[in-house]
Structure 1
Amino acid sequence: MSYKTPIWKYILFIVLITLLSSCGIQNNTKTSLKSEEQSSLQEKKESLTLRITWKTYSGRGVAIRKIVDSYNAINQTNYEISVIDGDEDLESIESLLESNDAVDLYVLPYRYVQYLGYNNKLQDLTSSFANEESLFYEKLWELGVVEQKVYGIPWLGHSMGLIYNKNLLRKAGVEPSNINSLDKLVAACKQVEENTDAHGIGLVGAEHNDISWMVNQFIYGFGGTLVNSQGMKVTINSSNAKAAIEFYKNDLGAYAQDTWLIDSGVEVMDYFREQQIAFEIQGLWGITDIWKNGRPFETGVIPLENIGLYAEVGPMMLALQPHLNEEKKTAAIQFIQYLISIKAQEMIMDGEYSPEHDAYYPFRLPVRKDITDSIVFEKYPEFSMFLTGFSEPSIDVPVPQWQLIKDEYYAPGLHLVMENKMSIDDFLQEIQDQGDKILMGEK
């Protein structure tokens, strides 16, 4: 028996197929149009340029670009943030600022923010960040303020700590938790030298930038200051500063590496890596340097405040070009607010990638006060030890004019003192005399 399908069923089948195909084409068309529309909107976005202090292709540049990309992915403004190469060449930065539209946002060392703010070359951010001040350590926030105006917002930075070789201390019978004063540190150095082949501590004595920030930590710790609160008079010529320099030169110098008078921080790191010294005062890179070299020994950190010193800090700040139009300024401020958010601050600890070691290493610290409770420090507990330095820091360049004093008289003079070619009294007097002239604009 044969069966024939009624013709009306064939007609119905063809109609259904046609309708379904039509719907698919319409949906594909809508999806395609929507995608094209989004792409068109993306292409229409103007660029806001962020100049960093590293190459964009470097490990640090790539790390920063990842943070910027995370912002661009949620950015609803008419501007997309683009990152460009930079450095710490002040002359180049000033030239860019004068060109008005070459760069919109800058990452700057705090001392440049002070200098450029003092000369009215940066955007005044006071009203835009009135509610953010409480997020940061008071002394750190003040580094971005000039004459009651906010020119820089803290973003990331470093602070120094007393890093030690756990293996050497264990061999010497030194318990690091007992080192809670400078006298205990000296005693620990003595014990290291008596029980191991290593020297106690790495010191800097060369005519170099490092001798300035290194010794300042002791001067502040002993109760001395560089300038008065108004920044108009040199105050270093005091018994406190003299005692600090004497301690550094004589008490600690007795347990330093043999070449410390001609060494900078670079050589100190070399000696520490080679286990020729048990202690060094460095930032977190003092630890990552050991990690990058195969972790030949365990490291630990003692906050400098635990032994009565003020840690040198180096916050990098976010600043704006002074001639941005209102729309650009609003978009730039929104971006800065993202960079200082908890999410973006935690991303700093993701670190920079090292192709040589196929690993990521933190290179700077986040600077918000409340970041200490972040889960990121469960991964890097030793780095949390550096954060306390932000509360009572040693400021290497307390006022813009100090940079000239430091370069021409302070660092060279300290080197001469360490080499016994100049007395501490004569050094302090010279800094006061020459420094006051510079602060008063006579030089």
Structure 2
Amino acid sequence: MELPALNFLGYGLDLCTAIPWDIGTAACNVKKNHRLINIDRNVSKEQTIPIAQYSDYCGSWEYHVPDSVLVSTDVCSVQSDYQTFISGRHAAKAFTNDKALKQYFSISGCDEAVASSIQSLSLTGTHQYAFYSLRSVSCIVTLTNADNVNESIITRITDLPTFQEKPDNHVVELYKSFFRSFGSHIVTSTIYGALFQLIVKVPRHATDPSKFAAHVNQAFNGMPKGVADPSIESDPFYQKFKTHMERTIAVQGGKTMPALRLTSGSFSDDVFDEWKGTIRSLPNLIHLGVLPLWESMKAAHNPMLRERAKDIEAAFMFVTRHRQEPCRTHVTLCAHTDWAEFGLLTQNAYIEKDAITWPESTVIFNNKIRWVNQTFRMVLIRFVIVNDGSPIDFYTSHGNNRNKGESGGYVKILMDDCEYLNSDITGDGINCKFFLQV
């Protein structure tokens, strides 16, 4: 059986813009049309690895592991981290400078994209922030021949002009096009396990700064610190805190249903404990490690690749330092259903709120919005997509009125005077539809 990590190892990622916080978005943006590092699948060995081939199937599988791939299964660990910040400015500074906080990113190995990634969280000085992460590692899969560059990219690189210190716009666009097609970095490692990430945002006027960490801990029944404090419930500031609290939750790995309930806003001790009890037996992709393409080119056997590495590096540095002003697109999600989800699949795009209040049970992450209700009804959710103005990819999902024996249910996105309707019933209860290059 082929190792799932081979779907990512050796392929490129364009990190000229930002590192996606969500590993699902990062995985969708891997450039699978062109393998940048050769992997000989004919020379391999059998190895038992704790990576499930199917969702919710516990146990290990026998995989063919190429000789140029190293699988480490003696790295099992479970770690948690809880950080609070008195303002968005303090949070942004910490994420920029503290290497320990890099675990919150879905990708490691590209510090130049960190600043843009932090920007995608829309951290503001008027709010306090809390970040909690629970991370379980089951195995690490690493590519050991990162210098074995696939020479099929030679023709494309040869066609690129030399990158000057002050390039004209045409040259910059040629290199941007190259990065969009092949990527600026190569995936050289994958981590499988489970991940729970929580971000809490509260206006500074709505809580006592000295009690913020305790209030967040109590709101989630003591999960961040490991123990709750019932006496906090009577604190007037705590009641105000709960009224203004915004939270986003992302989950990877573990059993599917409790993970979905957690991300849909149905947080409870029982659901969290149910999910946590399955994270060691049901690992999933939680992290990608990358290497700059030019570093691989510098070590390549082909002299032309070694010579042109400096142009690729210079172009990437120029693009990341001269990012254009972001484009803001106002969007309305209109749905008739009992739950709906909108998810961005474009890594340089993120979501901001476009309303003072949202419908109850609306959960927002930087690249995803999910709304859940007990019964079918109409709902409108307004938000803003921020990116560089390029076309975006996204998906929508919705429920269907099975209790009444009707198909029912739809979600549509209104954007730039266009309507993107999803009334599909796919039979899996998710009813997902993709919209590409919109």
Flag the structure with higher strand content: 2
The higher relative CO (CA closer than 8 Å, separation ≥ 6) is in 1
* Structure with a larger share of its residues in helix: 1
TM band (smaller chain): under 0.3
Say which one has the larger Rg: 1
